Structure 1
C-alpha cells in the first residue's frame, strides 16, 4: 500500500472556474545561450559593448560565463507577445556579435577546451555588487567545475491574475481561512488582506508541488539533451555509449541536462527543502546558506595571495545556488535577498526551470511548448496538492532519473503512488485531463493554440520517435555529430534572425536602454566608497 495521498485522481475543473478568471495572467522568459566561435569553441571575446551593461541592462545580461548570454523578456499578456520580444532580443544580439560568432542552440555545450580556465567568468565591472556577482561564479567554478556551469536552459515565468485568487478565496472562505491569524488588535480589512496573501502563497506552493510530481512529463515532452560532446565528459565517470567518434549518448535518453551528468549537485540532495508552507521553504534555504560544508571548507575562502575565491564555505553561497526544477519567486528590491522578498510580499510568480533549449527554434522555444507549459501550470494549480514529503520526493527522484536516461524506451514504467505504471499511459492520462483547460485558455485568448499544443504532446507521448530528443539523436547521426547538428542549426538561426528587422522605434528604444545601462553602471561604480574586502566581510 502507498503512503502518499492520491494526487490528480479524476480531475474536474472547479465548477466556479470560468474563462474570465484567466484575465491578468502574465508570462516571461529567461533564455541562456553560449556565444561560440565559427570553429565551435567558446567565444573568448568580451560581452558586445553595443548590448550595454550586463550589470544593469534589464533584458540582456550574462549568466555564469562572459560567453553565456542571458536574454530576459518583460512579463507579457500572451505567449505570442513574449516570444516576439524574445525574438527581438535575439535580433539585437546577432546585430551586435563579432563577425562569425554564433549563439549555440543546444543546452549541452560542445568543443570546450580541456582547461577550465578557458571558460571566462562573467565580469560585471568594479563595483562591489559587480565583484560579488563574479566571486559567486568563481565559487561555483571551484565547487563544481566551470564546465557544468556552461549548460544552458530556459526559464518560463508565470503568474495568474489577482482576480482569480480573490474569487477563489471567497469561494473557499471556510472557517480555517476566517480564523487564520485573527489577531484582535488588527483592523478587519488587514486580516482579509493577510489571509488572501496567505491563500495565494498556499495555492502557488500547491502548483509547485504538483509540477514537481509531473516533472518527468516535461522531460519526456520537451527534453532535448540526449547526447553530449566528449569534452563534457573528460575526467568524469559515465555509462554513455558512443553514437559516433565525437558524440556520446544514451539511445533513449531525453534530458541528460537534468540528470546526474548535468546540472545536479550531490551536496544538495539531502537538504530537504520543502514546498508545503512558505516559512518552511524560506527556513530551509536559509539553513543551507548558514551551514558550513566540509568539502567547501577544504577549498578555503581565499587563494594563497589572499584574494577571495568563494563567497563563503557553506552548503549554498547564496539562495540562487539552490537547484530546483521550479521556484517560487517575488521581485526583489535593491539590496533585498530572494527569501526576504518572499517573506515580505509573498509569491508573485513561479519559475519553471526544467526546460532544455529547443535547438530547432531560433529563440530556443516554440509557441506550442509555451502554450503547453501554461496548460500544465493551470492543471497543477487547480488540482488538489497534498503535502510533498521525503518519501514521495524519493519516488519522484527515481522517476526523474529513469525518464532522463531512458524516457523513450518502449515499455518504461515509473512509480506512481508506490506501484509501477507504464510511463506512456501515465502521460496520456494527464494530457487528456488537461484538454478542457486548454479549451478554456483558447476561449480566453482566441484561436486554438492551447488545444493544438496538448494534441501535439499527446502525439509525442504515444510516439517517442516524434520527441525533440529522438530528433536530436537522429539528426546527430545523420550529420555525423552533435557538434555538426548544433553548428548547422546555429547558422540557420543566425541567417533567419538577421533577415528580420526591428521597427525604427523599437531599435531606438533598445539603443537608449543600452546607453542608459552603461551610464547606470558608471554611476554605481563612481558612488562606491567601501573597499571590496570590507564589503565582503560584512556580507559574509
Structure 2
C-alpha cells in the first residue's frame, strides 16, 4: 500500500497532521535616523548570543536571530516568536528598529560590516573566512528557517503497517529523504507565492556587483533565492536520494576543498539529527528533523510570516509526504532549476509553471478533503488564486506598493517603525498556549530574556 492508502485505511489522519515545528528568524538592527545597519553591540541585557537559547546573532553583530523551541503547530511557534521579538525590542537601543525586509538597507563598505562578536575564536575565524569568500553584505540577507519533525507516533504506526523496510530507523530516514526530495522538487511554488525580495538598495547592488549581470533584469520575485543569493559554488553538488549519498557528497566537497567544513554547505534543505556536529553521526542516530531554508521575510507581517502563510506551508509539507512520486536525481535537479527560474521572473509575470502550480494545489485540496481537515481549505484555495493573478503574490503586492512615492528604503523605514511601536506597546498574548494570568505572562517574558532553558520554561506552557 502507498503512504496515503495506509493513512486512510488505518485512520492515521490526525497523527499525520500533527507534526512538530520550530522557527528561526534572522533580522537586522537598523538606525532610525539614517536607515543604516547599526554598528552597535548586541543588547547586553540578553546575555551571550552564542549560548542564549532563543535570541542569538547570526553572521553580523547587527543580525539577531530568534529561535523557537519545537511546538506541535506552526501557529504556536509563531506566537513564541512574537514573544521573543518583544523581548529583543525591549533590550534594543531606543534609536534602533528591526528592518522588515530580507535585503539590507543602507550599508557601510563591505569590509566595515561588523562580524558577530563571539566568545569562540573558532566561530569568529570561520565567519571571517566566509566573509572573505562570499562577501559580508551578502550574508546579511535575512530569512526564515522552518524546522519540521514528523510525529514519532505516526512514523511508528506507519512503519508497523508497511512491509518493505524492516528497520524503524531506516524507515524514518526514508520518510525524511522523501520529504527532502519533494521539497527541492516543488519549493518553486513557495518562491512564487512568498518570494519577497524584488528590489534592493543601491549599497547592496553595488557591493554584490548586481548591475554587471545583464541576464537578470530587476525587479524579480526573490533576489535572495536568485543567482545573487547566498549559495555555494556551482561545483558543489549534493544528492538527496539516500542519506549515505548526502553525507558522502558533503564530505567529498570538504576533501576537495570546495567547502572548508561540513557546515559550509548551504542547501535549501538540511538533514538534522545526530549527537554531535559531524554529519556521519546521522548514520547512527537517524534523521530527526529537517531544516527548510529558502523563505524570505514577509514584510507585511511584524514577525515576517503571515498566519495564513504559515497554514499553507504546513499543508504544503504534509502533501510532499502524501504524494507518491519518488524523484530520480535528475528530476530533483529540474525542480531546483525551476526554483531559480521562478525567483528571477518579474513579480507581475505569470509563472512559467502556472499550470503545474494550480494542479499541485488542487492535489493539496483533495488531500485535505480526504483526511477531513476542511478548516484549512479556504487558506489553500486563496493561494491557488495567486497562480491566476501574480499581483496577489507577496512580491507582486510589494511591487504595487513600491510603484508609489516610497522607495525601497522609505517603505522599509515606515513599516519597520510601525512594527516597532506594535511590539513595544501591545500586551503579551499567550492565548494559543492556554490561559495565563498577567503575572505569569511577565514571568515568561523575563525567563525568555534571561535565556532560561526550554526544559524549565516548557513547564509554564504545559
Correspondence 1:300-319 to 2 at 5 A:
315-319=258-262
In the alignment, is residue 339 of structure 1 matched against residue 279 of structure 2? yes
Partner residue in 1 for 2:126:
136
**What is the alpha-carbon root mean square deviation over aligned residues?**
2.4
Write the distance in 1 (CA, Å) between the matches of 2:388 and 2:212: 27
Could you say what secondary structure the match of 2:446 adopts? helix
Among candidates 47, 54, 58, match of residue 53 of structure 2: 58
Q: Say whether residues 1:498 and 2:424 are aligned partners.
A: yes
Does the aligned pair in 2 maintain the 1:29–1:155 contact within 8 Å? yes
- 1:477-502, CA deviations, whole angstroms, 9 ceiling, x for partnerless residues? 21331111111110111111111234
Q: Which runs of 5+ in 1 are unaligned?
A: 1-10, 179-194, 242-247, 293-314, 414-422, 519-540
Moved over 6 A (4+): none
User: Which of 271, 290, 304 is matched with 1:328 structurally?
Assistant: 271
Matched, 1:392 2:382: no
Deviations 1:233-256 (A, max 9, x none): 215143689xxxxxx9724x2111
Q: Aligned pair count?
A: 437
Give the Å deviation of 1:24. 4.9
Query: Is the CA contact (8 Å cut-off) linking 1:53 and 1:517 kept in structure 2?
Result: no
Provide closer, same or farther for how the CA distance between residues 56 and 504 of structure 1 changes in structure 2, counting only shifts above 3 A. Answer: farther
Residues 27 and 78, structure 1, Cα contact 8 Å, conserved in 2: yes
Provide Cα deviations, 1:98-129, integer angstroms capped at 9, x if missing partner.
0120100100111112x11321111122xxxx
Structure 1 segment 31-50 matched on structure 2, within 5 A: 31-38=25-32, 39-50=34-45
1:353 aligns with 2:293: yes
Greater Cα radius of gyration, structure 1 or 2? 1
Structure 2 contact 28–63 (Cα < 8 Å) conserved? yes
Residue 435 of structure 1, CA deviation: 0.9
Give the Å deviation of 1:157.
Answer: 1.1
- Give the match for residue 253 of structure 2: 288
Q: Deviations over 1:154-185 (max 9, x none)?
A: 011111211211222122213xx24xxxxxxx
Q: Aligned residue for 2:432?
A: none
Displacement of 1:515 in angstroms is 4.2
Alpha-carbon separation, structure 2, partners of 1:152 and 1:495: 21
In the other structure, the counterpart of 2:221 is 254
Deviation at 1:97, TM superposition (A): 0.7
Separation of aligned partners in 1, 2:6 and 2:398: 37
Alpha-carbon distance between aligned partners in 1 of 2:151 and 2:400, rounded to the nearest angstrom: 42
Partner residue in 1 for 2:107: 112
8 Å CA contact 2:12, 2:154 repeated in 1: no
Scaled by the length of structure 1, the TM-score of the pair is 0.76
Cα–Cα, structure 1 residues 372 and 13, in superposed 2: closer, same or farther, change >3 Å?
Answer: farther
Deviations 1:403-442 (A, max 9, x none): 11116454543xxxxxxxxx21111100010013345777
Q: Tell me the TM-score normalised to structure 2 length.
A: 0.88
- CA shift, 1:272, in A, is 2.3
- Flag the 1:515–1:468 CA change in 2: closer, same or farther, 3 A: closer
Where does residue 433 of structure 2 map in the other structure? none
Structure 1 residue matching 2:250: 3-state secondary structure: helix
Query: What are the equivalent positions in structure 2 for 1:175-194 lying under 5 Å apart?
Result: 177-178=165-166
Residues 1:276 and 2:229 aligned together: no
Superposition deviation, residue 504 in structure 1: 3.5
Residue 507 (structure 1) aligned to one of 437, 442, 457: 442
Q: In structure 2, how many angstroms separate the alpha carbons of the residues matched to 1:12 and 1:231?
A: 54
Against the structure 1 CA distance between its residues 237 and 515, is the aligned structure 2 distance closer, same or farther, given a 3 Å change threshold?
closer
Describe how 1:448-463 pairs up with structure 2 within 5 A.
448=375, 450-463=376-389
1:59-138 maps to which residues of 2 (within 5 A)? 59-113=54-108, 115-125=109-119, 130-138=120-128
Indicate conservation of the 8 Å contact 1:57/1:513, yes or no. Answer: no
